Amino acid sequence: MKRIALVTGHFPPSNLVGGQRARLWSQYLPEFGWEPIIVTGDPAMYEERPDPDLALLVPKGLRVIHAPTYSNKPIRLVGDIGVRAFMGTYRVLADLARSGQIDFVIITIPSNFLACVGRLIHRRFGIPFGIDYIDPWVHRWPGVEKVFSRAWGAHHLGNVLEPWAVQGISLVTGMSLGYVQGMLDRNPEVARTAVVAAMPMGGSPEEFEIVRGLHRPPFLFKQGDGRINLIYAGALLPRGLTVLDTFLSGLGVLRDKAPRLAERICAHFVGTGTAPDDPRGHQVLPRAERLGVAQMINEHPHRIGYVDALNHLINSDGILVLGSTEPHYTPSKVFQGILSRRPIFGMLHEASTAVDMVRRARAGTVLTVTETQLPTAAATAEGLRSLLEDNTYDPGSVDWSAFQSYTARESTRSMVDALERAYAQSRVARAA
C-alpha cells in the first residue's frame, strides 16, 4: 500500500473545512490502496475553539502527526496556522521522506502558505506533490482594492507565492474546477503537465449514523414546540449577502401572504458571524431587523461543534442552503443537508453542481441565481411556502442513486483516480 501525507493546517479537534476534507479522505483512502498520514498543526496552538466530539469521527488507527507550531501568545504577531506551523510541517515531511515513509504529498488550502511546503519537499527529496483548492488562492475578494488592507496584502502576496508554489506540481485538485481555473490560466505550464481533477467534499453516511446514535437533544430549539425550525449552518460569503437579503425579503412576503404559516417559522443561522468565536458578531439579525423579519430569525453567530451541527440538521424541519453569486461556489452543506434526511430549500448559482444534485435526488427545492439576477422576493416566498406546506417529503423517496456520486467515498475515489495518474507520471518523469 502506497502512503500519502495529507497536509492540513487544522485537523480535529478543529472543525475548519481543511481538516474536514483531510478527515473524510483519510476515512476512505485505504479502500483504494493508499495509507494516509495526517500532518497538521499543534492543536494546543489553534486559535479556534476546539470540538472534542470530532474525535468520534476520526478513523480508528489513523496516524496523525502534530507538527511543532509557534505560539501566538503573549503577543499575537501572526494568526495564520500555516505560517506558525510551516517550519514544523517541513521538518516532519522531511523526516518522513528521508525514511521512505511517504510516496506523495498533498496540501489542502487554506491555509494557503502551507502550499509552499510541497515544492520544497519535492525539490529536496523528489517526492511528487499536489495542492487541493478548498478555496481559490488568488481571488479578488471584496476589500482587495483598499491599499494596505489585510485583504489587499493577502491578494498581492498570493500573486507572488502561488506561481512559485505550483512549479513542478503533479496534481491539482479542487472542490470544483472553478476553484483552480484562475491558477491554471496564470500558469499554463501547470495546466499542460499536471493532472487536474475536481471533486466535492462529499457527505459520509457513516458519520450521520454515529451522530444519530448519540441521541442528543438539540439546544438551539425544542423539538415538538410547534415551530418550523429551519437551519443554516456555516459562514456567510461576501457575495452571498445579496442572496441572504433576497431570502429575508421572501420571509417578509410570506408573512404577508400566509401569516399563519409564517408565524411558525424560525430560521436558525449558526456560525454566520463576523468571527468564528464572537457571540456578538451578528450579521444576519441586523439585516433581518432592517427588513422587518427579525421575529422569524434566530442567529447564533459563533460556531458550534461539527457533531452538534449535524445533530441540529438531523432534528430540524428543513435545511437552508444559501449560496453565492459566484458560479464556482458549491457549498459542502448540501451534502450534509441531504444526508440529514430533511428537505432542503436552496438558493444557488445556476452553474453550481449542487443545483442538479438536489433536483435529481428530489431532495428539496432550489431557486437559481446568477451574477446579475436574483429571484424576486415573491418567488422566494412561494418556493418556501410550497416546500413547507408539502407534507409528502419522505427520505425513502429520495433518489439516493442520484446522490451516490457526491458521497465522500466517491469523492475519495475520484481523488485517487487522479492521484494514481499523477503518481505514475511522476515516476516516468523521474526515470527519464
Task: State residue 234's pLDDT score.
Answer: 87
Task: State residue 200's pLDDT score.
Answer: 85
Query: Percent of the chain having pLDDT more than 90?
Result: 64
pLDDT band at 141 (very low <50, low <70, confident <90, very high): low
pLDDT band at 363 (very low <50, low <70, confident <90, very high): confident
Phi, psi (degrees; rounded to nearest 5) at 365: -115, 135
Task: State residue 404's pLDDT score.
Answer: 74
Set of cell numbers at residue 45: 496552538
Mean pLDDT, rounded, of the chain: 90
Q: Rounded to a whole number, what is the distance in angstroms from the first to the last CA of the chain?
A: 24
Range 200-223 average pLDDT: 90
Q: Is the pLDDT of residue 236 over 80?
A: yes
pLDDT band at 148 (very low <50, low <70, confident <90, very high): low
Task: State residue 142's pLDDT score.
Answer: 67
Q: What does the alpha-carbon distance between residue 370 and residue 347 come to, in Å, rounded to a whole number?
A: 10
- Among candidates 401, 393, 304, 285, which has minimal Cα distance to 345? 393
Alpha carbon separation from 24 to 20, 155, 274 (Å, rounded): 6, 29, 27
Who has greater pLDDT, 99 or 429? Answer: 99
Q: Is residue 144 helix, strand or coil?
A: coil
Are 312 and 306 in contact by the 8 Å Cβ rule? The answer is no
Are 155 and 138 in contact by the 8 Å Cβ rule? The answer is yes
Helices (H) and strands (E) in the chain, counts: 17, 13
Who has greater pLDDT, 114 or 280? Answer: 114
Neighbours of 429 (CB within 10 A): 13
Who has greater pLDDT, 190 or 148? Answer: 190
Task: State residue 291's pLDDT score.
Answer: 96
Range 146-157 average pLDDT: 74
Q: Is the pLDDT of residue 370 over 70?
A: yes
Phi, psi (degrees; rounded to nearest 5) at 129: -140, 160
- Tens of pLDDT along 326-358? 876 666 678 888 889 999 999 999 988 788 878
Range 121-138 average pLDDT: 94
Are 22 and 54 in contact by the 8 Å Cβ rule? The answer is no
- Tens of pLDDT along 270-297? 999 988 778 888 999 999 999 999 999 9
Q: What does the alpha-carbon distance between residue 385 and residue 390 come to, in Å, rounded to a whole number?
A: 8
Task: State residue 329's pLDDT score.
Answer: 64
Q: Locate cell 508554489: which residue? A: 165
- Tens of pLDDT along 378-411? 999 999 999 888 777 777 777 777 677 778 999 9
User: Sign of torsion, CA 323 290 140 135?
Assistant: negative
Q: What does the alpha-carbon distance between residue 102 and residue 125 come to, in Å, rounded to a whole number?
A: 11
- Among candidates 241, 259, 246, 351, which has minimal Cα distance to 296? 259
SS3 content of the chain, % helix, strand, coil (to 5): 45, 15, 35
Task: State residue 280's pLDDT score.
Answer: 86
Task: State residue 406's pLDDT score.
Answer: 76
Contacts with 404 (C-beta within 8 Å, 6 or more apart), sequence order: 410
Q: What does the alpha-carbon distance between residue 336 and residue 316 come to, in Å, rounded to a whole number?
A: 13
Question: What are all long-range contacts of 165-168, with beta carbons under 8 Å and residues at least 24 apart?
Answer: 165/115, 165/116, 165/118, 165/119, 165/131, 166/115, 166/119, 166/131, 166/190, 166/194, 167/119, 168/119, 168/122, 168/123, 168/129
Set of cell numbers at residue 214: 448519540
Task: State residue 152's pLDDT score.
Answer: 74
Least confidently predicted of 107-111, 157-161, 369-373: 157-161
Task: State residue 328's pLDDT score.
Answer: 65
Range 38-54 average pLDDT: 90
Set of cell numbers at residue 338: 441531504
Task: State residue 359's pLDDT score.
Answer: 84
Q: Is the pLDDT of residue 376 over 90?
A: yes
Q: Is the pLDDT of residue 138 over 90?
A: no
Are 337 and 323 in contact by the 8 Å Cβ rule? The answer is no
